[in-house]
Structure 1
Amino acid sequence: MTDPMPEHDEVFAVAAGAAAAVRSGHARWLTLRAMPGMGRTTLLEETVRRETADGAMAARVVHCTSAESTYPFSLVRRLLPDAGQDVPFTEQPPADEQHTFHRLGARLERIARRQPLLLAVDDLHDADEVSRRWLGYLARRPAGLPVLLLSTECLTRPALALPEAHGTSVLLRPLSDSAVARLARRAGYEAGCGAGDAATALCVRAGAGNPTLVRALLADFADLAKLSDPSTLCGGTEPAGLREHPTGPIRPPRPIPSVVHLHRYRETIARWVTERMDLVARRLCLTLAVGAVGVVGAVGGAGFVGVRDNAHITGPAGADDGSASPGTVRPTSYTAPSGPGLLSQVAAIYPGVRVPAPGSAYLAGLARLFADPLTGEAVLAASDPADLADLHLRFARLLHEQGAPATAVAAHLLHLDRPAEVWMSQCLEDAADALRDAGRPRPAAHLLRRALHGPLTPAHRATLSLRLGALELLHCSDSGVRQLRAALELHTDAAARAAVAPALGQALAAQGRTGLAVQVLHRESMDVDSTELARVLQSVSALIAAHDAVAWRDAVARMRELVSCVPTAIEPLVRALVMEYDAGAGRLSSAEAVRYILPRLSAQVHPQIRTGWLGSAATLLQWADRTQDALALADAWLPPPPAFPDLSDAGLQCLVSVRAEAALMTGDFRRVLAENDPLLKARTAQGLPMPHIVSMVALARFELGWHSAAWRLLAVPRAEHTDSSWEWNELRYARGLLHLDEGDWQAALDAFLACGTGQRARDFVSPVATPWRSGAAHALVGLGRPAQARELAEEDLGHARAWGTPRTVGRALRAHAAALGGRRGLEALSESVALLRTAPAPVELIESLTDLGRARIDAGNGRKGRADLREAHALAVRLLVPGGRTEGHARQVHGAGAQHRQASADQGGGGHESRAGAGRLVRLTEKALRAGAARVTRPAASAGEALSPAERRIVRLAAQGQTNAQIGDALHLARRTVETHLTHAYRKLGVSRRTQLVGRLKGTTGLLDTDSHHG
């Protein structure tokens, strides 16, 4: 070892000074102390070479081994091989030992008088105790003995007490970062390149300045670089040294997933722990390893927060920002130990273990060594599983007794075969609650599964199974249903079963198995003795039946029979469900619904129907444009983020849907994402499909201009063709809106008609939820079929007026105006805008204002039209500014678009995306403003003459209702070419969209060939 020698010049200087004193006839001792692997042996040998090079000093070098530590005088015998029988083979009484020490000392003095002597003893901590005492005797002899005692000792072992007056102890410092970098460069990792910097960073952090560890890491890197298929190493966790590198997660030449693949590094540490450390040091290292790694055995890639990370769960992935969310386990009297702080508890965990003194070099060395998790992982890999289990049990019991957070205790209980005592199961439960409230259902479910193996009563086991089933629905709905079914079967009491049955029913319905869900609830309602409890189950069954068209119709019929005789505590839910059906069937006005709902929100209801009643009430309030009231109910009963709602509660699921849709309706697109994106990200392919939440999140992304991200959600194939749940109709409607924005009229029409088919099967004709007729009308206008569009728009408008809210009527009027065109269309748009100004409907208002502005410009009233467009643009920009939403007329907002550009960077996409920072409505209004400012009205007779032959052919087909793709196929042109010709033609004709072509080209000879099937 030559590279790090310059960093130890001071060691050689001290040794040279001591040697000079010895050559002058004064005895000296020098001890080199360090952690394992720091190069003590190399430094000792180099010192011996330097001090004996000129022949002025003789040397006797001995390397001690633990194998000889039990044989008395074994070190002395090797230092004085010519002493023969003067060196005993057994321990002696104190008086005889002192006589022997004196006789051997005198022999050594005679040797040293002939030539100064350097006694070099490596690993003195492994020497036998008698020989150590004899060396101490020599060091205390009077000056005049020309002997230099040079020894090395490991910091993890007790030091030999020697008189400070005659010598000194030198602590070997770790290698500096620059020395480590030099070693890395010699191994081929140059600074300034990604791989070299990353390898050096890992060596600095995981090597802890230890030459042996640094060289082991570099050797492991070289082995990894030789692998022909490095992809086999990519399944582990990226080392901390790479994760935290300032330039980002740059990797060495080959991926280094975990300590498993760093063979030399792992074996070096394992050798130190098993061969070079005594029991005390091993236990200290094992204790630190358990704390340094945090919680070993993380579930599903989402690790828990353990002792090392203060054991607090206050947010996603255990983030601790100092503000605990509701339900967080955070005893204020407890401060979890971390790093070296764990040593203060070692004595309690292992009574009798010698704890290093605070500030000692030993403590500092351990802290530096265990600063990186790789070290702890290597120690654990080399440890006996039985020792590990014992340590985790000791840790868990100690932390539990000290009042540590349940998550800290559970981190250790996970390593036991099973929770053998009641307190263990309770800690696992409490930790699961904390993780659930932190928005981490999967690890929470793992903890509950472990808790179920504990000593539980049947009732307690049933309760845990119920909670576990609710948590598992997100990532494996089949497993969740099994747990809920087990919870139901564990109960023998009919009332207890009645409390569990609705959760199982809701889970089954969310899976698309509504018929089975209704059967379960019907069976349980027949088994209960209480009439009121039977009515509770029947009303909850009706709520769940909404996921199936046939079951919903039958359930509402039963509710109509019950409404006059049901108990008062159940009547609100029964009547609300009937009102939901009547509202969808067009038999109820919004005013009637609000008059019934609002006074009863504070009424006492049966506890088992409370969330169902509130979910149904919130749905009706949202439909009635009382979005703030609906959001208030949802916020009051749903857990705040990051916690997820109980998906086995049908009422809470309703409130989740209401919260998402109400936020979308009021233009709060970022709130939709903030509250629901985590829910969808936590869901797996085997979890509940949740098509309504998928639709709301997709539409929020769509409105923010993230078109591709929206399609990625909506394009996921699910079992929508066999499931008649209302949620799939919402998904079809959302797809239609995206197709409409793309100008793919036929695909939009197909999606809207599919939505309509699903809604009619449920007798849902009102446009209050999914105004599919209005959407289809816009698509038909785009296809050049205004007559069919007018028919659908008029039907939608009639149902909208029956419900009677400004949003539904204003939205239907806009579709009606698109189908009518001309003066009547302009009047319909004016009425639409006037109505929407009174409603919390910013999206619909912006769309109607934009259409009104265009229509006025087309009618020759450019001044008013451009004023409408400017107002629409200001409203659109304000929607994208955090806190900038408004429910009425908005003034011009200057510079707000730039603020949104930055906010949209994280959702990019590619494909059909808006320009950076522009949401859909901003893009829509800006396009209309540009077209309105550049509009040039030409006489109809000159319109055709302005077009080139290619443009005339394309415009003719477009006016007939063909899509760009169809035109390209017919004329053998690329779609991009078709779009370019249409853009030029629009500019020449003074139109801004395809729907205006027919009216613009009427009377132009040869351009319009009308076909009867286009209406």
Structure 2
Amino acid sequence: MTAAPYGPGIPGVAGFLVERGPELHRLRTAVGRLAAHRRSSPLVLAGTRGAGLSALVDVAVAEADAIGIAAAVARCTPAEADLPYGVVTQLAAQLAGVGQPLPLRLLGAPARAAVPGLCAEFLDLARTRPLVLAVDDVHWADPASRRWLGGLARRAGQAPLLLVTAGAIEQPRPPATVLRVRPLGEQAVRELIAVRCGRPADPGFAEGVTRATGGSPAVLRVVLDRFARLDLPPTTEHLAEVVEHAAEVVGDRAVPVLDRLPADALALVRAMAVYGDAGDLDFVRALAPLGRRSADASLALLVRLGLVPPGERPVLGPAVATRVLAGMPAGARADLARRAAELGHRIALPDDRLAALVVQAPPLHTEWAVHTLRAAAVRRPAGEAAALLARALREDVPAQRAEVLVDLARAESSARREVSTRRLEEVLLGAGPEVPDRVLVAAADLLQTGGDAQAADRAIAVACARRPDQPALAAIGWLAANDSAGEPVLPAPVTTRADQLADPVLASVAGWRLAMRGRHRDRAREFALAALTGQGQDAPHGPRILACRVLRCTGDLAEAVAGLDDVVADARRAGARQTAAQALLERARCELARGGLTRAAADLAAAQVELPADRWHPRLLPALAGLTAVRALVEGDVTEAERVLAGPLPPAATGGAAWAQYQYARGCLRLALADPVGALPPLLDCGRVLTVRRQTSPALSAWRSMAAIAHAGAGQTRAAADQVRDAVGRARAWGEPATHGLTHLLAAYTGHDTRTHLRAAVGLLAASPARVHRALAAREAESARGAAGATHELSTEDRRVAQLAAAGRSNADIARLLALGTRTVESRLTGIYRALGLSGRRALAAVFRPPVVLG
């Protein structure tokens, strides 16, 4: 594509005349025909403002000058739109400058005489010498000049005169020839960028520039000139700067046009600015308000003036809409926005569309406005949802205030955790009789699952004192008190078994109270399944996660994962990102329990996408770090576990039940590093945190079994035996085969009665969904037949060397840690292999390195 060598503009692409081949050919042909045959017909260059019509006008004048034809050009502006015969006087002045004066005797005469008389003067001049007359931006011509142009066009065939008019004008009548000038396409814009910037543009950059400028040569000229001065490469990373500048240019170009619009067009464009980008002409017409004929004519004018792009659903661009609204008096703007919202409500606009109108309006103090904003917020990202709900609060409808506060707290829970907590406390502490019970339960659930158990305990206790007949609220309060390790301010509600099975919150809490103590497994399962049955997506999320945790403890992993799938989907739909993250964390625990390491890793990653680690409540953060480290240890990646656990935690992290999971991971890491003495403090602290909260079930944590292994490794055989006896007894009482079998499996690593424990583990895990543990028990039982019985013959120092080698330490590491020579370590390992009948480190690991299990 070759640029035309005419008109002002970029060298080589003068006047931005790329993609203008047909128009240039017609102009040259018309001028050549005038010179050769002294014949012509009027030419109309029709297009929107900024489409490059001025450059084409310059081409016509330049072609005439090049072959010696007299030419004159008039450029209309808004400032001269009221000056009678402004076009005539401009053309006459230019012709006088080249020795072709016109008397203009009838300039001040009535139109009936002036128009034909002035036409005759120009036609007489053309008969003496061919003449090219060009009028640019004819849409700004004054009424008298437009009448004269119409008369001249009808008479132009009477003399060798070529009349070229350009602008956003209506379809002219014959005999004029109309050249429709379209905006530039992406390929043309790409060429202009390459010439102006001296290098080719990225495809995404060219596409973005085309979209931002609308292919307008006038806008492109300004935008590319500025971008070239910045000396930046035309790549997508710099597109935002161009888009922002293009919006400014488009908006600035609209201002003088807006100032000259007739009343109907101004009313229409204001209505369009308020309505936004939906392009519903019927709505805009009713809002203006205008009749169909007037609205259609006004819209056609807006399109011709370049304020509205042509199309079936014409809309204002954001930059133009901003200028329109900014130019309105504040009162008029507020009144128009109010009328738009009320009209939208009357005709039942969709919630999203209606909410956009309500946001612009002053408070309407109506329930439908609150309902609309809440409904629209459900489908928005958290930040946008929070803005809509904050606007809903300004409606000041007392009957819905508490519900809006809960919705807003949910939307803010990830980015503004403290603010979210205060809003929920406001609901619970200040709830009057007008607040429904379900709203209080929802507020309590959000506050409890948010991590601040102490604040939840206090606020829920106050709400319970006002609503003593609301057992679900009291049940969530009991959970908060248990997590904060404090005595409940109010006792747990006294309910019947039938009540508990009927209410999902009561059912989940009842199941949890049994599971955490390791009692009545079948009944705990019954409660958990009841809590998940028949719940809608709006049911409290925290109790549902708790019910899934109970099912994990009862060994019903498939049911637990299915329940958590629903919670994650419902929490995301409700914008409860914090709750979704916790559900993903619990699902990762379930996947680890059944050996799905890849799925567990995916859930852990998804939890941090849902809620980045720096936004987790300090009391919940240890659970994330602890589970991430345990997963790494299960995969044998000790280095990754060390990295995770080396990260700093806030001081408040030690205050919640999640601290037990972190300490468990630290203890397992020390065992993996063959440091049983170092493993004991965190493992025993894990037990302390859980015992204080009466969470004593071995299905929740294997801390007793891991502590027994650490005691054994430290030479404390009696303490190890006591822990094994306690763990096995509790697992037997709970009665879940996987938990019971895993307890026996871990007991085998204490070195006492190894084969008995492994036989029990193999039998109990035979039908367990924990396939990894099942396979591990069988393998360990096979290995124990040859090696485990001989481990007691090793010296304390040899056992230490063997444990470090089993943990994956190199000979050099072992030598450094035990202050031995490298050759001494090699010699001892050779003796250990011979004594135990083992072939290498992998076999050694099977004897000395205990498995890491979920805890």
1:53 maps onto 2:66 in alignment: yes
- Taking a change above 3 Å as real, the CA distance of residues 811 and 504 of structure 1, as seen in their structure-2 partners, is same
* CA-CA distance at 1:67 after TM superposition: 1.5
C-alpha deviations, 1:576-607, integer Å up to 9, x for none? 86775565456x3535655x7489779999xx
Mapped partners of 1:32, 1:814: distance in 2: 89
C-alpha deviations, 1:162-185, integer Å up to 9, x for none? 4423x3111223334444333323
* CA-CA distance at 1:450 after TM superposition: 0.7
Mapped partners of 2:642, 2:269: distance in 1: 52
1:37 maps onto 2:23 in alignment: no
Matched residue SS, 1:88: coil
- Taking a change above 3 Å as real, the CA distance of residues 599 and 76 of structure 1, as seen in their structure-2 partners, is closer
1:164 maps onto 2:174 in alignment: yes
2:658 match: 727
Is this contact kept in 2: 1:290–1:376, CA < 8 A?
no
C-alpha deviations, 1:301-320, integer Å up to 9, x for none? xxxxxx76xxxxxxxxxxxx
* CA-CA distance at 1:142 after TM superposition: 7.1
C-alpha deviations, 1:858-888, integer Å up to 9, x for none? 579xxxxxxxxxxxxxxxxxxxxxxxxxxxx
Matched residue SS, 1:452: helix
The aligned amino acid for 1:69 is A
* CA-CA distance at 1:30 after TM superposition: 0.9
1:760 maps onto 2:701 in alignment: no
2:726 match: 795
1:273 match: 254
C-alpha deviations, 1:605-625, integer Å up to 9, x for none? 9xx999888776655443222
Matched residue SS, 2:424: helix
Mapped partners of 1:664, 1:820: distance in 2: 26
Matched residue SS, 2:42: strand
Mapped partners of 1:707, 1:771: distance in 2: 19
1:87 maps onto 2:106 in alignment: yes
1:354 match: 296
2:22 match: 10
- Taking a change above 3 Å as real, the CA distance of residues 78 and 543 of structure 1, as seen in their structure-2 partners, is closer
2:432 match: 492
Q: 223, 242, 245: which one pairs with 1:217? A: 223
2:415 match: 475
2:403 match: 463
- 1:871-890 aligned at under 5 Å gives the runs none
Is this contact kept in 1: 2:630–2:665, CA < 8 A?
no
Matched residue SS, 1:148: strand
2:593 match: 665
1:624 match: 554
The aligned amino acid for 2:368 is W
1:75 maps onto 2:87 in alignment: yes
1:409 match: 354
Q: 809, 812, 832: which one pairs with 2:740? A: 809
The aligned amino acid for 1:459 is A
* CA-CA distance at 1:115 after TM superposition: 0.4
- 1:175-214 aligned at under 5 Å gives the runs 175-191=184-200, 199-214=205-220
Matched residue SS, 1:121: strand
Is this contact kept in 1: 2:209–2:243, CA < 8 A?
no
Mapped partners of 2:799, 2:591: distance in 1: 46
1:543 match: 479
- Taking a change above 3 Å as real, the CA distance of residues 710 and 273 of structure 1, as seen in their structure-2 partners, is farther
Q: 382, 392, 400: which one pairs with 1:451? A: 392
The aligned amino acid for 2:254 is V
Matched residue SS, 2:499: coil
1:834 maps onto 2:775 in alignment: no
1:297 match: none
Count of residue correspondences: 803
Is this contact kept in 2: 1:288–1:370, CA < 8 A?
no
1:910 match: none
- Taking a change above 3 Å as real, the CA distance of residues 781 and 672 of structure 1, as seen in their structure-2 partners, is same
- Taking a change above 3 Å as real, the CA distance of residues 709 and 819 of structure 1, as seen in their structure-2 partners, is closer
Matched residue SS, 1:150: strand
Structure 2 unaligned regions, length at least 5: 1-8, 94-100, 850-855
1:432 match: 377
The aligned amino acid for 1:483 is R
Matched residue SS, 2:117: helix
- Taking a change above 3 Å as real, the CA distance of residues 430 and 498 of structure 1, as seen in their structure-2 partners, is closer
- Taking a change above 3 Å as real, the CA distance of residues 63 and 369 of structure 1, as seen in their structure-2 partners, is farther
C-alpha deviations, 1:402-427, integer Å up to 9, x for none? 43321222234333454455433321
1:147 match: 161
Mapped partners of 1:258, 1:986: distance in 2: 72
Give the alignment's Cα RMSD to 1 decimal. Answer: 5.3
Mapped partners of 1:7, 1:960: distance in 2: 74
1:825 match: 754
Is this contact kept in 2: 1:584–1:763, CA < 8 A?
yes
Mapped partners of 1:78, 1:722: distance in 2: 81
Mapped partners of 2:122, 2:511: distance in 1: 107
Instruction: Using the TM superposition, name which of 712-721 and 804-813 deviates more.
Output: 712-721
Is this contact kept in 2: 1:521–1:537, CA < 8 A?
yes
2:145 match: 131
- Taking a change above 3 Å as real, the CA distance of residues 87 and 621 of structure 1, as seen in their structure-2 partners, is same
Is this contact kept in 2: 1:579–1:593, CA < 8 A?
yes
* CA-CA distance at 1:469 after TM superposition: 2.8
- Taking a change above 3 Å as real, the CA distance of residues 43 and 705 of structure 1, as seen in their structure-2 partners, is farther
The aligned amino acid for 1:446 is A
- 1:564-643 aligned at under 5 Å gives the runs 569=499, 580=512, 584-585=516-517, 588-591=519-522, 593=524, 597=527, 619-630=549-560, 640=570, 642-643=572-573
2:6 match: none
Is this contact kept in 2: 1:139–1:162, CA < 8 A?
no
C-alpha deviations, 1:740-797, integer Å up to 9, x for none? 6676766655543331221232344331101112233455667787776555334322
Matched residue SS, 2:237: coil
Is this contact kept in 2: 1:184–1:199, CA < 8 A?
no
Is this contact kept in 1: 2:254–2:320, CA < 8 A?
yes
The aligned amino acid for 1:485 is E
Is this contact kept in 2: 1:511–1:688, CA < 8 A?
yes
Q: Percent identity at matched positions?
A: 25
Mapped partners of 1:766, 1:567: distance in 2: 22
Is this contact kept in 1: 2:358–2:369, CA < 8 A?
yes
Matched residue SS, 1:279: coil
Mapped partners of 2:466, 2:568: distance in 1: 32
Is this contact kept in 2: 1:27–1:147, CA < 8 A?
yes
- Taking a change above 3 Å as real, the CA distance of residues 211 and 653 of structure 1, as seen in their structure-2 partners, is closer
C-alpha deviations, 1:807-864, integer Å up to 9, x for none? 111111111112227xx4244224313311212223432443443454457579xxxx
Mapped partners of 1:856, 1:282: distance in 2: 93
- Taking a change above 3 Å as real, the CA distance of residues 62 and 701 of structure 1, as seen in their structure-2 partners, is farther
Is this contact kept in 2: 1:745–1:963, CA < 8 A?
no
The aligned amino acid for 2:741 is G
- Taking a change above 3 Å as real, the CA distance of residues 368 and 602 of structure 1, as seen in their structure-2 partners, is closer
Mapped partners of 2:55, 2:496: distance in 1: 91
Mapped partners of 1:110, 1:578: distance in 2: 105
* CA-CA distance at 1:629 after TM superposition: 4.8
Per the normalisation by structure 2, the TM-score is 0.77
The aligned amino acid for 2:766 is R
Mapped partners of 2:162, 2:832: distance in 1: 100
- Taking a change above 3 Å as real, the CA distance of residues 74 and 257 of structure 1, as seen in their structure-2 partners, is closer
1:100 match: 114
The aligned amino acid for 2:689 is G
* CA-CA distance at 1:222 after TM superposition: 3.3
